[in-house]
Structure 1
Amino acid sequence: MNAKTARHVLFDLDGTLVDTRAAVECSYRKVFAQVLDRDFPPPNLPAEVFAMRPAEVFHEVEPSRAEELYEAYQRSYPTCSDHVRTFDGAAELIGALIADDRKPSLVTNKGLERTLLDLSVAGISPDQFAAIVTAEDTQERKPHPAPILLGLERAGAEAANAIYVGDGPQDILAARACGMECISVTYGFYEANELKGLGPRAIAASIDELAEELGIGAFRGTAA
């Protein structure tokens, strides 16, 4: 598949279109302080805690209270939503794809409520996407192919005419399992050395580079 002509471009959300690191950290700090009476991050967590899903973080910290902590996280996240930022040029890139008669879609492991909240704060309308797939839509999560396969189905797309864009190893693996290529971005939660070995089609260090890989030649974004 030629990424520059693929009619369907399916995007991850966190670390790809929106920068949620500060919002996630805010929510963790509230949960740790209010529920556990301790500081975040605890010393026993991996260095790149922001690449982990919240449920995984809480299972590492307090396995017996993981569900309680995750529910507290879900409640606290909206109170931290003002920390969500769009990566510079991301909203413009979605618009440029549509103007080029191409179809962007969104496939994320995040739940629908937080997805819509993030998009609202970031200034990206959900109506711009041909399809949206969130955590509630499939039992499996990326790197399983099910979310992307559902995204293709909802968008009326074939894998042969689509490409996926994401910032993590799970995105590359899920896309490959669907028979698709993946463009990896390194301005999110993962660095290039964590992605190169998995063989993405390309690696983009900014929205501008991503736009170039997608063949949006007239795009004028701002480096992330």
Structure 2
Amino acid sequence: MRRSVVLFDLDGTLIDSGPIILASMRHASMTVLGREPDEELVRAAIGGPGLVAQMRDLDPDRVDELVEVYRAHNEPLHAQLEAFPGVLTLLPVLRAEGHRLGIVTAKRLRTVDLALDRFPVLRELMDVVIGAEDTERHKPYPDPVLEALRRLDADAADAAYVGDSPFDVRAAKSAGALAVAVGWGGIHPDERLLHEEPDALVHTAEELHAVL
């Protein structure tokens, strides 16, 4: 077993939430600002320092309105979420092999709960869940990964962090964990992930299992 602890990003890694994030960003921008957002810029920021920072990029003077409209549109869409093929079935296999598992995400814990309600296996199998409220700094800083390891009383050298964004790779590397990028998130292209020099880039649950 190469790493005793395996931490996962949530959006774009365990759950296929990219489409609802993009839809809600567009809805918020159109509703509050009356204009389409720059989708390339929106995609580039997903998985980073969080929703407030993303909305500040859209319009620094109307952040609160944008966040409120986004959340009102986005939260009900979690009932339609789908998981990526093979990923959820891999989790109990990893647990059976002795890995401890966790989620490290920039989502608010309230929104994380919506995803956990949709996929109860996540709630059952995770030993730790870190959300936006748990650290002052967010990815790409290592703080959320390190907080998860602190709660597990685990060393970074014994951990892997799996994510679909450049911010995940940077956070893992800064924390000293194995940085595993996944290419199935649908938001960030392989080229951008490889630019961050992850320890591995995988495209299937089988490839991920082999790395871990």
**Same fold by TM (over 0.5)?**
yes
Q: Which runs of 5+ in 1 are unaligned?
A: 215-224
The one-letter amino acid of 1:199's match is E
Give the distance between the partners of 2:207 and 2:116, measured in 1 at CA. Answer: 22
Q: 1:199 aligns with which of 190, 197, 204?
A: 197
**How many pairs were matched up?**
207
Q: Does 1:141 align with 2:138?
A: yes
Q: Does 1:93 align with 2:93?
A: no
Normalized per residue, the structure richer in helix is 2
Q: 1:35 deviation in Å?
A: 3.4
Give the distance between the partners of 1:37 and 1:62, measured in 2 at CA. Answer: 12
Q: Which runs of 5+ in 2 are unaligned?
A: none
Larger Rg: 1
- Other-structure match for 1:208: 206
The one-letter amino acid of 1:203's match is L
- Other-structure match for 1:49: 42
Structure 2 length-normalised TM = 0.88
Indicate if the aligned counterparts of 1:23 and 1:82 stay in contact, CA closer than 8 A: no
Q: 2:155 aligns with which of 153, 158, 165?
A: 158
Structure 1 length-normalised TM = 0.84
Deviations 1:152-178 (A, max 9, x none): 011221112111111111112111111
Q: 1:48 deviation in Å?
A: 5.0
- Runs (4 or more) in structure 1 with deviation over 4 Å come to none
% of aligned pairs identical? 32
Task: After superposing the two structures, state which structure 1 stretch, 27-36 or 102-111, moved more.
Answer: 27-36
Deviations 1:199-221 (A, max 9, x none): 2111001222212222xxxxxxx
1:64 alignment partner, SS class: coil
The one-letter amino acid of 2:197's match is G
Task: After superposing the two structures, state which structure 1 stretch, 109-118 or 132-141, moved more.
Answer: 109-118
Deviations 1:57-87 (A, max 9, x none): 4223322111221122122222222332111
In the TM superposition, 1:109-124 aligns within 5 A as 109-124=106-121
1:199 alignment partner, SS class: coil
- Other-structure match for 1:74: 71
Q: 1:56 deviation in Å?
A: 3.8
Q: Does 1:126 align with 2:119?
A: no
2:95 alignment partner, SS class: helix
1:142 alignment partner, SS class: coil
Indicate if the aligned counterparts of 1:183 and 1:201 stay in contact, CA closer than 8 A: yes
Deviations 1:68-112 (A, max 9, x none): 211221222222223321111111111111111211111111111
